[in-house]
């Protein structure tokens, strides 16, 4: 069952939109990179327009951004920019000249925060996972305690990652309360809205991200709920400040100029450019005949980049903001239908009421019903979901994810993003789980 099939419920992406697919065909056909205006003029302008519209939905009237190869890289960009903003010398001197930094994320946060700490040399031991409530939401009071503890140990708190739409439970952290904590301590607030960011398009659902406008940066993956197609991840930055060139650029220009001629960034460059740019003169010449601020590639750690904004631009122009909102709301409504069916059927037990589109539940086979007080019940129940999934994959009937979570043994996590999913597909989904698990 491939991701485009209406009975694929395994990941936070599925389905196929033909408008976005047309954009993907064009991207592959053009085979260019939007790092300079001269080789991808229309694509560069499209990217800037799409990023500006995404920032507007977040609630910012200005800012910056770049498309990155996935939400993990967008989160890592946020960590790198936050470090550079507080310690601009880290770019030239490295971590050895910095205090021990502290990063904070919830226990339900995406694993890319740990990966990013390892990649950037901050260290996974310096990522402090904050306790969550029974709904999977970060507890702001616990964040405050963790920050105070880290300070007392002599570390320098730097960065907080809140999550809008956690991977498993679909939880939305309380952004306003977390922003209050960050403001008190002068910390960078990043919101990982890779999954839940698309709720901003819906007047019915955007309240889930109340307070996101107070963040410093945001990750948003249109390739998930908007079905733009892999990959399309936006890193959005609120900061639009400019600064003077750093001495290191001048030194590079003097030492390496005859060989590579890395130019010093001009004083009009923003935070992303100052953090990542090196001004390679074979790409980013300063004496071009057009406005060189359109050469945006130096804002990214990448050189060659895919024109990921094109497929989103085409989709957005085709269906409009309301059409995208309806896509999100339809997925939400379909999940509500499935929720009611789960509640009605014997043997299905919710892990919790869903807040968003993540529906988490157990299927209890007849052989285990009525044994909830048995000491072996949960151990046996934890083996049910893997056994059912093996059967469905061997049969080729559908696909759905499962996982343990905290004290909870393996349960199913059902995700609906594909507009082609019908109520008949959802009824089949539950029927199939019942049939495959009946004799376990």
pLDDT per position as a tens digit, 52-111: 999 999 999 999 999 999 999 999 999 999 999 999 999 999 988 899 999 999 999 999
Tell me how far apart the alpha carbons of residues 88 and 337 are, in angstroms, rounded to a whole number: 51
Lowest mean pLDDT among 202-206, 245-249, 320-324, 391-395: 245-249
- Return d(Cα 393, Cα 155) in angstroms, integer: 48
Question: 188: which strand partners?
Answer: 159
Kindly tell me the number of DSSP H helices and DSSP E strands found in the chain: 13, 12
Question: How far is residue 296 from each of residues 65, 98, 257, 278, 439, measured CA to CA in Å?
Answer: 10, 29, 21, 12, 59
Q: Where are the beta strands (DSSP E) in 188-278?
A: 188-192, 217-220, 233-237
Cα-to-chain-centroid distance, residue 24: 21
Alpha-carbon gap, residue 81 to 274, rounded angstroms: 9
- pLDDT of residue 113 exceeding 80, the answer is yes
pLDDT in tens, 228-281: 999 999 999 998 665 544 444 344 343 334 333 333 444 357 999 999 999 999
Domain annotation for the chain: domains and CATH numbers: 33-244+297-306 (3.40.640.10), 316-437 (3.90.1150.170)
Q: Which residues pair with 130 in a beta bridge?
A: 106
Q: Which pLDDT does position 239 carry in this prediction? A: 84
Q: Report pTM.
A: 0.93
Helix 41-58 with 308-344: angle, nearest 10 deg: 40
Return phi, psi of residue 69, to 5°: -80, 65
Distance CA 385, CA 388 (A): 5
What's the confidence (pLDDT) of residue 270?
92
Q: What are phi and psi of 88, to 5 degrees?
A: -60, -25
């Amino acid at each position: 069952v491939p991701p485009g099939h209406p009975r694929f419920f395994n990941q936070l992406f599925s389905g196929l939109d033909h408008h976005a697919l047309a954009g993907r065909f064009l991207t592959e056909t053009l085979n260019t990179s939007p790092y300079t205006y001269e080789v991808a003029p229309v694509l560069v302008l499209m990217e800037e327009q799409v990023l500006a519209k995404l920032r507007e939905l977040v609630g910012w009237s200005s800012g910056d951004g770049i498309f990155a190869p996935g939400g993990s890289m967008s989160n890592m960009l946020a960590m790198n920019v936050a470090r550079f903003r507080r310690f601009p010398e880290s770019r030239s001197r490295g971590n050895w000249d910095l205090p021990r930094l502290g990063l904070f994320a919830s226990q339900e946060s995406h694993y890319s925060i740990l990966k990013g700490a390892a990649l950037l040399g901050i260290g996974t031991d310096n990522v402090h996972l904050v306790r969550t409530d029974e709904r999977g939401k970060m507890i702001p009071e616990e964040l405050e305690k963790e920050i105070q503890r880290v300070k007392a140990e002599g570390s320098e708190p730097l960065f907080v990652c809140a999550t809008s739409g956690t991977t498993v439970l679909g939880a939305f952290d309380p952004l306003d309360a977390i922003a209050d904590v960050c403001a008190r301590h002068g910390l960078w607030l990043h919101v990982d809205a890779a999954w839940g960011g698309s709720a901003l398009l819906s007047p019915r659902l955007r309240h889930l991200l109340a307070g996101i406008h107070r963040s410093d940066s945001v990750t948003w993956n249109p390739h998930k709920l908007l079905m733009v197609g892999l990959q399309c991840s936006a890193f959005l930055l609120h900061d639009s400040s400019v600064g003077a060139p750093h001495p290191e650029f001048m030194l590079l220009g003097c030492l390496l100029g005859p060989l590579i001629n890395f130019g010093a960034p001009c004083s009009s460059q923003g935070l992303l450019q100052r953090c990542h740019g090196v001004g390679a003169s074979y790409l980013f010449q300063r004496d071009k005949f057009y406005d060189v601020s359109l050469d945006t590639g130096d804002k990214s750690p990448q050189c060659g980049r895919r024109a990921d904004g094109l497929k989103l631009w085409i989709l957005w122009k085709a269906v409009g903001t309301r059409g995208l909102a309806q896509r999100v709301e339809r997925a939400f409504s379909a999940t509500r239908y499935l929720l009611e069916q789960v509640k009605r059927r014997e043997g299905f037990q919710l892990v919790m009421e869903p807040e968003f589109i993540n529906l988490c539940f157990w299927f209890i086979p007849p052989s285990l019903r009525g044994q909830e007080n048995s000491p072996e019940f949960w151990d046996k129940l934890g083996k049910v979901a893997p056994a059912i999934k093996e059967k469905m994959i061997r049969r080729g009937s559908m696909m759905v994810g499962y996982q343990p979570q905290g004290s909870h043994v393996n349960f199913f996590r059902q995700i609906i993003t594909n507009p082609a999913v019908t109520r008949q597909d959802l009824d089949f989904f539950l029927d199939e789980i019942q049939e495959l698990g009946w004799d376990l």
